[in-house]
């Protein structure tokens, strides 16, 4: 698919390019594949995604590969995510500009806007009895805009909707990422506010709803210390003579992945993002070198977003130059040992450092010129979207990514002809 083509749901391609030319009815295709006619119809109408199992069945009966259908689904999912998360998921050549500010937020949203990553994470982490009741092929990204503006540097959120099996009944899955150094007692209070915002917004899309759609709120926490607060909202309310039946009561699901001893459950891109964020908070990047090398070797090119580039921009923005140099040496050694396979795409992306450095320098120059003109920070923030703390962070990020280009050039030497395979 070329960049100029607008991705469409794979169900449209199934109908237009495979069933119609063969004069296949939905029922005939259902009988042939063993997939229910309702599911086929839902796929054609864009109400159901192509899962790995469905892709394998389609490949067998339509003389394609499973990846053909999975890539179509991913391209469509990323297209929809770009529309819903404006300013978060740009084209590859603008990734540096987007990830310069608040890289923790960006890496999380870029990874979990990949539908397959979100599904696998939920399936491996949510309560098993609930996982079994959900029709995961109906998972749909709804958006991300419920967190308080002043907390956007320490919280990120994504909202999904999904149907229950054999039903049109929906529930919302609200995923809140806490990427601050320590737990926050008042998170439960904010979740209460976020839930009401979600319900308010739901009336715009589901105008005919007669009851509120249930919301499962889930907190994914990575910090410097373990989470030590109750997930029960009512625990925030002081004891009184008011009967407990008049007090709001709910719990959020908590996944505390701060500890290095806890095995992370998720797909490969989520595993990389978790390890990179954890390395930032715990200063353990060096300890993670070899695990990251293995994880990076498992990455495959994805339609819509260059995730290798995403991860290396995050590294450039959060790690010290000396440690990145050591990691590059390991990448070069692994590349030579494996004959250039797998590592070439990663090493190729190191050339983005020059572009990222230029964007940071440009931002700093604009703000410094405004300061020299005696502009106050309120005006500067309105004009640039950067406050005084973010300005200091940008200057630190610029220092962190000033790695001599010769390192990347040396790592890129030999086997350069293999780059075209990416």
Residue for token pair 């889930």:
218
Closest by CA position to 385, among listed 104, 82, 101, 92: 101
Exposed / middle / buried, residue 182 (Cβ in 10 Å: 0-12, 13-18, 19+):
middle
Which segment, 137-151, 153-167, 184-198, 366-380, is predicted with the most confidence on average? Answer: 184-198
The pair of structure tokens assigned to 370 is 């405004």
Q: What is the mean pLDDT of residues 378-398?
A: 76
Return the percentage of the chain with pLDDT > 90, whole number.
Answer: 41
Residue 386 burial (CB count, 10 A): 20
- Predicted local confidence at residue 407, as pLDDT: 36
Q: Is the pLDDT of residue 380 over 90?
A: no
Q: Give the model confidence (pLDDT) of 160-210 as tens digits.
A: 999 999 998 999 999 998 877 788 899 999 999 999 999 999 998 888 889
- Predicted local confidence at residue 297, as pLDDT: 82
- Predicted local confidence at residue 31, as pLDDT: 96
pTM over 0.85: no
pLDDT greater at residue 332 or residue 51: 51
Distance separating alpha carbons of residues 357 and 347, to the nearest angstrom: 17
- Predicted local confidence at residue 400, as pLDDT: 57
Which segment, 228-237, 287-296, 326-335, 356-365, is predicted with the most confidence on average? Answer: 228-237
Q: Is 93 helix (H, G, I), strand (E, B) or coil?
A: helix
Q: Is the pLDDT of residue 265 over 70?
A: yes
- Predicted local confidence at residue 4, as pLDDT: 59
Local confidence band at 412 (pLDDT 50, 70, 90 cut-offs): very low
The contacts of residue 150 (CB under 8 Å, 6+ apart) are none
Local confidence band at 359 (pLDDT 50, 70, 90 cut-offs): low
Contact 74, 302 (CB under 8 A): yes
Lowest-pLDDT choice from 21-35, 150-164, 368-382: 368-382
Q: Give the model confidence (pLDDT) of 29-72 as tens digits.
A: 999 999 999 999 999 999 999 999 999 999 999 999 999 999 99
Q: What is the mean pLDDT of residues 105-126?
A: 92
The pair of structure tokens assigned to 108 is 């999380």
- Predicted local confidence at residue 337, as pLDDT: 67
Residue for token pair 């008011």:
242
Q: Is the pLDDT of residue 316 over 90?
A: no
- Predicted local confidence at residue 214, as pLDDT: 96
The pair of structure tokens assigned to 264 is 């992370």
Q: Give the model confidence (pLDDT) of 69-98 as tens digits.
A: 999 998 899 889 888 887 777 665 567 667
Return the percentage of the chain with pLDDT > 70, whole number.
Answer: 82
Residues forming beta bridges with residue 232, ordered by sequence position: 251
- Exposed e or buried b for every residue in 135-154, given b needs 16+ CB within 10 A? ebbbbbbbbbebbeeeeebb
Q: Is the pLDDT of residue 319 over 60?
A: yes
- Predicted local confidence at residue 311, as pLDDT: 87
Q: What is the mean pLDDT of residues 402-414?
A: 40
- Predicted local confidence at residue 46, as pLDDT: 94
Complete DSSP assignment for 210-257: SSPPPEEEEEEE--SS---S-SBGGGGSPP-SS-GGGS---B-EEEE-
Which segment, 269-273, 291-295, 411-415, is predicted with the most confidence on average? Answer: 269-273
Contact 257, 274 (CB under 8 A): yes
Summary mean pLDDT of the chain: 82
- Predicted local confidence at residue 413, as pLDDT: 38
Residue 210 burial (CB count, 10 A): 5
Q: What is the mean pLDDT of residues 115-141?
A: 95
Q: Which helix (H) or strand (E) segment is 153 a member of?
A: none
The structural architecture, per CATH, of the domain 10-81 is Orthogonal Bundle (1.10)
Q: Is the pLDDT of residue 131 over 90?
A: yes
Exposed / middle / buried, residue 323 (Cβ in 10 Å: 0-12, 13-18, 19+):
middle
Q: What are phi and psi of 218, to 5 degrees?
A: -130, 130
Contact 313, 99 (CB under 8 A): yes
Question: How far does the chain reach from its first CA to its final CA, in angstroms?
Answer: 15
- Predicted local confidence at residue 32, as pLDDT: 94
- Predicted local confidence at residue 92, as pLDDT: 59
Q: Is the pLDDT of residue 384 over 90?
A: no
The contacts of residue 242 (CB under 8 Å, 6+ apart) are none
């Amino acid at each position: 698919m070329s960049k100029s083509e607008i991705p469409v749901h794979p169900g449209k391609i199934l109908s237009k390019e495979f069933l119609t030319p063969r004069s296949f009815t939905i029922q005939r295709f259902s009988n042939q594949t063993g997939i229910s006619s309702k599911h086929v119809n839902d796929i054609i109408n864009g109400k159901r995604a192509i899962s790995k199992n469905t892709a394998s069945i389609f490949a067998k009966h339509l003389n394609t590969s499973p990846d053909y259908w999975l890539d179509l689904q991913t391209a469509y999912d990323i297209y929809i995510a770009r529309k819903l998360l404006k300013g978060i998921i740009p084209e590859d050549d603008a990734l540096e500009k987007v990830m310069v500010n608040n890289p923790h937020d960006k890496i999380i949203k870029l990874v979990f806007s990949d539908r397959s990553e979100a599904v696998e994470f939920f399936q491996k982490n949510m309560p098993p009895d609930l996982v079994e009741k959900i029709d995961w092929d109906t998972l749909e990204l709804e958006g991300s805009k419920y967190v308080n503006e002043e907390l956007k540097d320490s919280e990120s959120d994504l909202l999904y909707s999904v149907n229950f099996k054999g039903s049109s009944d929906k529930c919302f899955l609200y995923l809140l990422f806490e990427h601050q150094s320590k737990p926050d007692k008042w998170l439960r209070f904010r979740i209460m506010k976020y839930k009401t915002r979600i319900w308010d917004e739901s009336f715009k899309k589901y105008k005919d709803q007669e009851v509120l759609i249930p919301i499962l709120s889930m907190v994914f926490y990575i910090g410097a210390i373990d989470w030590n607060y109750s997930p029960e909202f009512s625990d925030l309310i002081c004891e009184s003579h008011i009967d407990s039946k008049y007090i709001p009561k709910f719990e959020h699901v908590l996944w505390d992945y701060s500890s290095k001893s806890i095995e992370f459950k998720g797909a490969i891109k989520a595993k990389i993002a978790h390890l990179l964020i954890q390395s930032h908070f715990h200063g353990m990047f060096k300890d993670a070198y070899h695990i990251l090398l293995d994880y990076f070797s498992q990455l495959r090119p994805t339609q819509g977003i260059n995730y290798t580039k995403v991860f290396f921009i995050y590294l450039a923005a959060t790690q010290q130059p000396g440690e990145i140099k050591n990691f590059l040496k390991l990448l070069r050694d692994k590349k030579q040992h494996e004959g250039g396979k797998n590592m070439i795409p990663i090493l190729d992306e190191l050339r983005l450092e020059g572009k990222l450095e230029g964007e940071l320098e440009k931002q700093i120059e604009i703000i410094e010129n405004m300061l020299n003109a005696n502009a106050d920070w309120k005006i500067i923030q309105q004009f640039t979207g950067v406050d005084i703390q973010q300005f200091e962070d940008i200057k630190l990020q610029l220092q962190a990514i000033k790695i001599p280009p010769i390192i990347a050039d040396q790592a890129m030497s030999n086997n350069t002809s293999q780059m075209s395979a990416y």
